[in-house]
Structure 1
Amino acid sequence: MSNTGQRLQDEGSRLQVVTAGAVAGLISRFVIAPLDVVKIRLQLQSHSLSDPLSQVDLRGSPIYKGTLRTLKHIVENEGVTGLWKGNVPAELMYVSYAAIQFTMYRSTTMFLHRAFGPSHDGAGSRLPKAAESFISGATAGATATATTYPLDLLRTRFAAQGNDRVYTSLARAVREIHRDEGARGFFRGLAPGLAQIVPFMGLFFAIYEGTRQPLSELRLPFGSGDATAGMVASIVAKTGVFPLDLVRKRIQVQGPTRSRYVHKNIPEYAPGTLRTIRQILRREGIRGLYRGLTVSLFKAAPASAVTMWTYERALNFLISYDGVEKEKETGA
């Protein structure tokens, strides 16, 4: 067997990669759910905190200031369970997303190895390592985003609900969105979502693959450099594409239920990503495109660290377990 073939085999079978990716997404999502709710609430807050309240048409909307105070506000007004609003569609999305992402990343990497031939050391394709990681990461991210997007939209809408619930259940939300907005309603904001995820995942995997090995030689938390590499990669990539993430959230809550979420004064935006960006800039300034960035970075670091750390260990466990089972069969 060639070195490239052995390397890909060592990275696990397709089923093992899917399983490890799903486990990583499930655990990561549950851990960071409260920060995700806070981020969405801050992103949807269109009124500027620097403006006199007398000039702000709140229409009964809350005023969130900072991550900790927003957490406290949600708990006091909606209970602890308010921090996990939208967790069901989010868990489904993260499990599916992670499984599709890692599967596509591995499949694209294998395709690049076949298309360009193995490198001289057999550790990759003839493409530069950064280019290979970028292409694989961008392809994986775009595929996973488009496939799981309806769940992402449902997650945002549930997280945006206050005590006056817009949707009483996931099944009812699906029925009402389909009835009132049609199939296209499930894909509001997909354009900025794809525009965001391609450079984000490309940069993320390029930085992750480039820093994982050097960091693995250091004595770091979790026993390896996987978690730290994932953290560094996520922070750098997330900051660069954050405005598109905010635009995606604003577009996701457009439609007939726009004024019924916890922020009842969400503006109505003209169709199109660029038009939405211009409206936000005109109304809120450049800071408006970065609402929730701080908590997003706080969220991105542990989320990526937990995801990559869990994925690597789950995959290694599955590979080791499969090896033990094969040894038993051989011995028998």
Structure 2
Amino acid sequence: MMDFWPEFLASSSGREFVAGGFGGIAGIIAGYPLDTLRIRLQNTKNGSAFTIFKHMVVREGTASLYRGMAAPLASVTFQNAMVFQTYAVLSRACDSSVSPKDPASYKGVALGGTGTGALQSLLLSPVELIKIRLQLQKESQMTESIKGPIKLAKNIWTKEGLRGIYRGLGVTVMRDGPSHGLYFWTYEYMREQLHPGCRKSGEESLKTMLVAGGTAGVASWISCYPLDVVKSRLQAQTPSSLKYKGIIDCFRKSVHEEGYSVLWRGLGTAVTRAFIVNGAIFSAYEIALRLLFHNASIHTKETI
């Protein structure tokens, strides 16, 4: 084990993996309260963001804003690490005409991001289901059998099986594939516009990282938000409260009962969170990657 980490970090994929993990942790910590507020808004018919926020803090305590954070925080390091590592591989594999010394083309970035988003859904879907169930819990509903992510996961597995754990997988893939393609493309395009030449040199300011990452997050969420609303509603269902038969049924019933505006409910909160979270993710990722490459080069020189 002592020899594993130096060798792992000496590889490009190893550094991408670790830097992606740091980015994921930064993103979760920065935006989780707004994510909880987004889920509450998507699953209620009445109340503004401020009203729901005030209700949660006054009646349930500040800790309610972080309810369910253990589930994504425990998995986000690995999940985000895999996302950035997979993206690094796929973005180059999708356009073999690019020289290994040059950054991936915008075509490769978009296709690699789409593939990465679809693949990560397999890991993300169960985590988001548990997170959403916990975020929607009221204090009066928190029995010992479903208190906390591990107990809730066991409860879902016992009562609903694999199908229950992966409820909403189809719409998660539909949401994450195209939106991740747009996400990575926007980030690479914006950082190059803000700091010409940085994609090749690998050098840009913290401001560029924050703005490019934040803009990428906003563009991604706007493009897939109606699907996210449907996904949240499907995953919030339990066997005793099945209202929707599937994606199309959920879409139809939601629009029929609450109008088309329901598909954009909570968008303001989501966009605000997206800018903060993704600015933090890409900044932490880029900074960690530079430090790891710097340490790796020092280690190589010392070895020589």
**TM-score, length basis structure 2:** 0.88
Distance in 2 between residues matched to 1:117 and 1:210, nearest whole Å: 19
Residue matched to 2:7: none
Residue matched to 2:36: 37
Distance in 1 between residues matched to 2:170 and 2:284, nearest whole Å: 30
- Contact 2:125–2:168 (8 Å) recurs in 1: no
CA 79–13 in structure 1, closer or farther in 2 if over 3 Å, else same:
same
Residue matched to 1:18: 17
Structure in which a larger fraction of residues adopt helix:
2
Distance in 1 between residues matched to 2:258 and 2:181, nearest whole Å: 30
- Asked if 1:230 is matched to 2:213, the reply is yes
Residue matched to 2:194: 215
Shift of 1:94: 2.2
- Contact 1:43–1:292 (8 Å) recurs in 2: yes
Give runs of aligned pairs for residues 103-122 of structure 1, distance below 5 A: 103-113=85-95, 116-118=96-98
Shift of 1:163: 0.7
Higher deviation after alignment, 160-169 or 100-109: 160-169
- Asked if 1:319 is matched to 2:293, the reply is yes
Counterpart among 212, 228, 244 of residue 270 in structure 1: 244
- Asked if 1:170 is matched to 2:149, the reply is yes
CA 329–199 in structure 1, closer or farther in 2 if over 3 Å, else same:
same
Counterpart among 57, 74, 85 of residue 92 in structure 1: 74
Q: SS at 1:196's partner residue?
A: helix
- Contact 1:12–1:315 (8 Å) recurs in 2: no
Residue matched to 1:261: none
Larger-Rg structure: 1
Distance in 2 between residues matched to 1:12 and 1:33, nearest whole Å: 32
1:124-154 per-residue CA deviation (whole Å, 9 max, x = no partner) reads 56xxx33211111011111112123211111
- Asked if 1:157 is matched to 2:133, the reply is yes
Distance in 1 between residues matched to 2:101 and 2:15, nearest whole Å: 22
Shift of 1:96: 2.4
User: Identity across aligned pairs (percent)?
Assistant: 24
Residue matched to 1:303: 277
Distance in 1 between residues matched to 2:129 and 2:217, nearest whole Å: 22
Alignment: residue pair count:
286
- Contact 2:91–2:110 (8 Å) recurs in 1: no
- Contact 1:192–1:244 (8 Å) recurs in 2: yes
- Contact 2:234–2:244 (8 Å) recurs in 1: no
Shift of 1:310: 0.6
Distance in 2 between residues matched to 1:134 and 1:242, nearest whole Å: 19
- Contact 2:218–2:274 (8 Å) recurs in 1: yes
Distance in 2 between residues matched to 1:174 and 1:143, nearest whole Å: 22
1:129-184 per-residue CA deviation (whole Å, 9 max, x = no partner) reads 33211111011111112123211111111111111215213222122101111111
Distance in 2 between residues matched to 1:130 and 1:118, nearest whole Å: 11
Distance in 1 between residues matched to 2:178 and 2:124, nearest whole Å: 18
Paired AA for residue 163 in structure 1: E
- Contact 2:168–2:234 (8 Å) recurs in 1: yes
Give runs of aligned pairs for residues 159-198 of structure 1, distance below 5 A: 159-164=135-140, 165=142, 167-198=146-177
Distance in 2 between residues matched to 1:17 and 1:40, nearest whole Å: 31
Q: SS at 1:182's partner residue?
A: helix
Residue matched to 2:200: none
**TM-score, length basis structure 1:** 0.81
Distance in 2 between residues matched to 1:80 and 1:296, nearest whole Å: 19
Give me the CA root mean square deviation. 2.1
Distance in 2 between residues matched to 1:237 and 1:32, nearest whole Å: 16
- Asked if 1:135 is matched to 2:78, the reply is no
Structure 2: state its 5+ residue gaps.
1-9, 198-203
Paired AA for residue 120 in structure 2: A
Paired AA for residue 109 in structure 2: S
Structure 1: state its 5+ residue gaps.
1-10, 50-63, 259-267
